[in-house]
Amino acid sequence: MQTVNYVGDRAHHEQFAEQLAKPGSDDLVLIDGACEGLVPRCRAIRTRQPGAAIFLLACREDEIAPEDWAALRGTVQGVLRCDASPRILMASKGVAPLLPRLTQDEIDVLACAAAGLSIEQTASALDVPARLAGSLLDSASTRLGARNRAHAVALAIRHGYDLGG
């Protein structure tokens, strides 16, 4: 049976971690992204469990201090929002980069793309100029490292962003 360890003190994060315990996978460690001493904790766990998949668990991406993002890049596999489906983590384990920080506007544009809306329809739905909607989609795609619009949507979903689908 897989061992899932949770480091933190939020009950809903611990419940999420318990849902991940499935047979046939390597160990997972979920670390609360808002816990004190985040970088040293992550490094210590990486040293003790070099083969473990380490993910930060957060309610919002901005819970993780900006200065910690760069320091954690080689230590953790990614960041997962606690409201994401546990299947997202299992599907992305070992390949998910550190979660790109998207703005709410970028997430909204990706949600429209996921719903199949064109840039013009997205602009109308979000009440923004079409040029801005396109720019936000380009920005989100760049941050995600996506090759195209569909790839951007897929990566956002894989990283745990809620696109309303």
The pLDDT of 147-162, averaged and rounded, is 85
C-alpha 69, offset from chain centre:
13
Task: Work out the pLDDT band at 3, boundaries 50, 70, 90.
Answer: low
Position 94 confidence tier, pLDDT thresholds 50, 70, 90: very low
Q: Identify which of 142, 107, 99, 153 has the alpha carbon closest to the alpha carbon of residue 126.
A: 107
If you average pLDDT over residues 129-143, what whole number do you get?
93
Is the predicted pLDDT of residue 92 greater than 80, yes or no? no
Q: What's the pLDDT band for 81 if we cut at 50, 70, 90?
A: confident
Other C-beta atoms lying within 10 Å of the C-beta of residue 49: 16
The encoded tokens of residue 98 equal 């550190």
What number is the average pLDDT over the span 82-94? 55
Tens digits of per-residue pLDDT, 18-50?
665 554 445 778 888 888 888 898 888 888 877
**Count of CA atoms in the C-beta half-sphere (13 A) of 25:** 19
Q: Which residues contact 64 (CB under 8 A, 6 or more apart)?
A: 33, 34, 38, 56, 58, 72, 79
Confidence of residue 97 (pLDDT cuts 50, 70, 90): very low
